[in-house]
Structures are given as C-alpha cells and as structure tokens.
Amino acid sequence: MSGGPEARTVRELLFGLPMLGGELPSFDPEGAPDSPFPLFLTWLGEAVVAGVREPHAMSLATADADGGPDLRVVALRDATEAGWTFATQADSPKGRQLAARPQAAIMFHWREQGRQIRARGPVLRADAATAARDFLDRLPGSRAASLVGHQSEVLTDPAALPAAFAAASARVASAPDTVDPQHALFTVEPRTVEFWQGVPGRGHIRLRYRAERATGPWTRDRLWP
C-alpha cells in the first residue's frame, strides 16, 4: 500500500510504491550482437512499438571546469555506429562544459520496459554547415525557441520572455533561412555502452560493451546486478 495523499513525509509517500512492475521484455545477452549499435537500434525500436513515452529523451551528464558533475535531459536527434547526437546552444552551460571537457555520459531509461542504456565517451561537435542544416530542418517553433537564446541565464524580467519569443518567431517568419549561430550538434562517441534489463526476483541482466574507439573491436562482459 502506498502512502497516498495523507502521507506527511517522503518516506511515507514512497512506502509501497512499485519498482520494475508489470510485464517486462526478455533479453538474451548470449544472442547479443558483436557491437552495441544494432542492439541499441533493436531496443529503441521495441521501445517505440511498446509505446514508451519519449524514448528519445536522453540524460546527458557533463562536468564543469572544476570536475563538478552536471546532468540534464536532451532530445536525441540521431544515432549511428559513430554515436548519439543531440542539439543545444553552444553558449549554454553544457555547451561551454563540452568545449572545455569534451567527454560525456548519457542514459536512456525506458521504465515501461524496465530497461536502462548508459554510455560514455568523447564528444565531437559537428561543423557549422552540418549544424545549420540540422537547424533549418527544424519546425519554425523550434527555430524560434533556439533564436531566443540566453539558455540558462538569469531571467530578471519575466515579461522579456514572451517579447523575445514574439521577436524570434517574427524573424523566422520573415527570414526563414536564418540560422542560429549558437545552434550546435554534438555526438557522444561510444567507448562503454551498457544494456540493463530488469528481472525482478531473478537478478537483473547487464551486458557491457567496451572499445578503444567507436569502430571497435568490442569486448563484451556480463556484469553482476
């Protein structure tokens, strides 16, 4: 039984909340491919078919200049053997952190399937022409949101936000070829990729891939849960 609305403490609220409930898919690591990308593609496809909400929401961990960790969600724009690509503002905190320390960790959590995929590796920034093409591929609303800029800066006057959105939307409408120079595409290259399948009561299944470079060759290890 969970705490319900009358619960007074976090512990009471948490009491009895299920974790890894429902029917979970199977995962046979013996039949896993030699490299992680085909398995990522299979799991992503299964997440889409299973109706997992926002399977392309990816946690992205970076470190600041002092080595302090930072974490947020970004949208996955693409993934290939070369890595996972996302877009952001180059002058945002994460953009600056990646310029100074081009290393990151990412994570997908597909709770409806009891699955987690985590990866780490170096981060490459795409050239300006590639970023511009990605920007112009976006819907007008996303382009306007990007052109508003100032990501993560202090908003001293909240009334400035709708005004900035209106100005950016007008700019996109009148000059559709406008490209935000801060729009940056980053790719997290795989060096370590781990697939985690929850199996309550029988030991969760973990399969880790490791390589010196994204092209492999890959070493595969089963991990204790």
Q: For residue 209, which of 146, 124, 118, 103 has the smallest C-alpha distance?
A: 118
Find out whether 172 and 140 touch, Cβ atoms under 8 Å: yes
Cβ 68 to ligand FMN shortest distance, Å? 12
Coil vs helix vs strand at 183? strand
87 lies in the binding site for ligand FMN (CB under 6 A): yes
Find out whether 79 and 39 touch, Cβ atoms under 8 Å: no
Cβ 122 to ligand FMN shortest distance, Å? 19
- Show the binding pattern over residues 100-139: x = contacts ligand FMN (CB under 6 A), - = does not: ----------------------------------------
86 lies in the binding site for ligand FMN (CB under 6 A): yes
Cβ 95 to ligand FMN shortest distance, Å? 6
73 lies in the binding site for ligand FMN (CB under 6 A): yes
- Show the binding pattern over residues 53-72: x = contacts ligand FMN (CB under 6 A), - = does not: -x--x------------x-x
149 lies in the binding site for ligand FMN (CB under 6 A): no
Phi and psi at 10, nearest 5°, equal -60, -45
- Show the binding pattern over residues 150-189: x = contacts ligand FMN (CB under 6 A), - = does not: -xx-------------------------------------
Structure token pair of residue 127: 């050239």
Q: For residue 85, which of 154, 183, 161 has the smallest C-alpha distance?
A: 183
85 lies in the binding site for ligand FMN (CB under 6 A): no
> Any idea which residue has 């920034």 for tokens?
125
Member of 29, 33, 93, 122 binding ligand FMN (CB under 6 A): 93
For residues 42 and 91, what is the distance between their CA atoms, to the nearest angstrom? Answer: 34
For residues 212 and 124, what is the distance between their CA atoms, to the nearest angstrom? Answer: 16
Instruction: Identify any residues that bridge with 208 across adjacent strands, giving them in sequence order.
Output: 194, 221
**Residues within the interface to ligand FMN (CB under 6 A):** 54, 57, 70, 72-75, 86-89, 92-94, 151-152
